[in-house]
Copies of this chain bind each other. A is one copy, B any other.
Amino acid sequence: MANEKMVKNITSMEEDFAKWYTDVCLKAELIDYASVKGCMIIRPYGYAIWENIQRQMDERFKATGHENVYMPLFIPESLLQKEKDHVEGFAPEVAWVTHGGEEELEERLCVRPTSETLFCDHFKNVVHSYRDLPKLYNQWCSVVRWEKTTRPFLRSREFLWQEGHTLHATAEEAKAETIQMLNIYADFAEKVLAMPVVRGQKTEKERFAGAEATYTIEALMHDGKALQSGTSHYFGDGFSRAFEVQFTDKENKLTHPFQTSWGTTTRLIGAVIMTHGDNNGLALPPAIAPTQLVVIPIASHKPGVLEKATELCERVKKLCRAKLDDRDQSPGWKFAEHEMKGVPLRLEIGPRDIENNTCVIVRRDNYEKTVVSLDDLETEIPRLLNAVQEGLYNRALERRANMTFDAHTLEEMKDIADNKPGFIRAMWCGERECEDKLKEEAGVTSRCIPFEGEEHLSDTCVCCGKPAKHMLYWGKAY
């Protein structure tokens, strides 16, 4: 333990959660700050996590028939303005290119904050008949939103994401796509990121600019704040009318198609940090950990130890992403370093272990040590990796349960919001007025109307006392 402190001190969560978070981002070598305020450098370890997220998410997209494309980085101002609500939502926070080389451009170009307008413009060229539908497109790229307050992964002026854009012959198909993609996000969050989420619909106030409906997955962070972790939007035919996208349907009638979009970002890395991390640093779910197991030789100067560690590591590499740490530093220093970086399993091997034909495996989630016979590695390592993946999920699920509260009156809502970090469940009349008032008086925003478990807590709105329409999740949020 003394060793740990020697290595890389991080602020404790309890002392200052925000500082703990940025300490972990920097000291686990996920990011570095860049010369441009509000932008970040994603370092190899952080980017390897993103690659693991990307690969597994992309597989799910392709398995459901989606194809990747690449749209331009720039949107001409006139194109951005074609859909009224959309431009109002985004224009205040875009970066504008005004010069190419020495020359001033005839028309300003915005650096894409999202690409609905570009996709519509392209759909207009390639969709003519019902035979051309559906178009199920996705793109992996970076986008820019000129935010005032920024934090690594959570809110930065440039971030990496995927944006799905699909076009359908009927509203029903488009709606089904919107829900399908939200479910893929939820499944991904829970199975791959080990992060429980509430899936549901956003209120009108919280909808995406230009959408008819926005669906969301909402996760609960360690500090009790909610994090919107992925969204899926149904646009109806609003954009296709604005952009004059039309097709001849089976009855030979000219019709506007129906559209969706859906996105997740590098914010998911922030979600993982704040869901699973502890005062020793990051804790990574094995499914996305760049290194799933690190082999650390103990007393590696003693004859045979380094050789055995090397041999074991080669063997373990057939089971998972394994790495040998044969650097000069002390074992204690290495333990702390790999805990900081969230490596799910640590395998210790020293002279005594070799004598006993065993090794010690330590889990990152609960620090549990297991003495494992070297004959059993092939069964024990996959079992322990699963155990860490499940352990992280269950711990997060339990914490969320302990941090979800029901409010029946405005007073109760304010009291919970002030004193108990977490989700608040409460009934709502459906009026924007009450939503605004809850924000003002309790400091909470509506997170979503949940798909499942929309329990009936009472007949009346928590705010105005009028008949309630929905049970909502509320909370302070990132």
Residues of A in contact with B (beta carbons under 8 Å apart): 32, 34-36, 39-44, 47-48, 50-51, 67-76, 79, 91-102, 109, 111, 118, 121-122, 125-126, 137, 141-142, 144, 146, 157-158, 160
Contacts and interface: CB of A to CB of B under 8 A. Distances in A.
A137 B47 CA distance: 11
B96 A97 contact: yes
Nearest to A136: B44
Contact of A70 (B42, B74, B126): B42
Contacts of A39: 72-74
Contact of A76 (B35, B41, B93): B35
A96 B94 contact: no
Nearest to A71: B41
Contacts of A92: 101-102
Given A32-B126, A73-B111, A97-B98, 4 more contacts: A41-B122, A47-B70, A74-B158, A96-B100
A35 B121 contact: yes
A102 B102 CA distance: 23
A67 B45 CA distance: 9
Nearest to A96: B99
Residue in A41, A75, A100 whose Cβ sees the most chain B Cβ within 10 Å:
A100
Contacts of A79: 35
A267 B20 CA distance: 44
Contacts of A73: 39, 73, 111, 142, 144, 158
10 contacts: A35-B76, A35-B121, A36-B109, A41-B69, A41-B122, A44-B68, A44-B69, A94-B100, A95-B109, A98-B98
A101 B94 contact: yes
Contacts of A50: 70
A121 B97 CA distance: 24
Nearest to A78: B35
Contacts of A95: 74, 97, 99-100, 109
Given A35-B121, A73-B144, A98 B101 contact: no
A120 to B, nearest CB: 10
A141 B68 CA distance: 15
- The 5 A-B pairs at the shortest CB distance, nearest first, are namely A44-B67, A100-B146, A39-B72, A42-B70, A96-B99
B101 A99 contact: no
A122 to B, nearest CB: 5
Contacts of A102: 92
A122 B69 contact: no
Contacts of A68: 44, 47-48, 51
A224 to B, nearest CB: 30
Contacts of A100: 94-96, 146, 157
Nearest to A105: B95
A94 B101 CA distance: 5
B93 A101 contact: yes
Nearest to A103: B146
Contacts of A75: 35-36
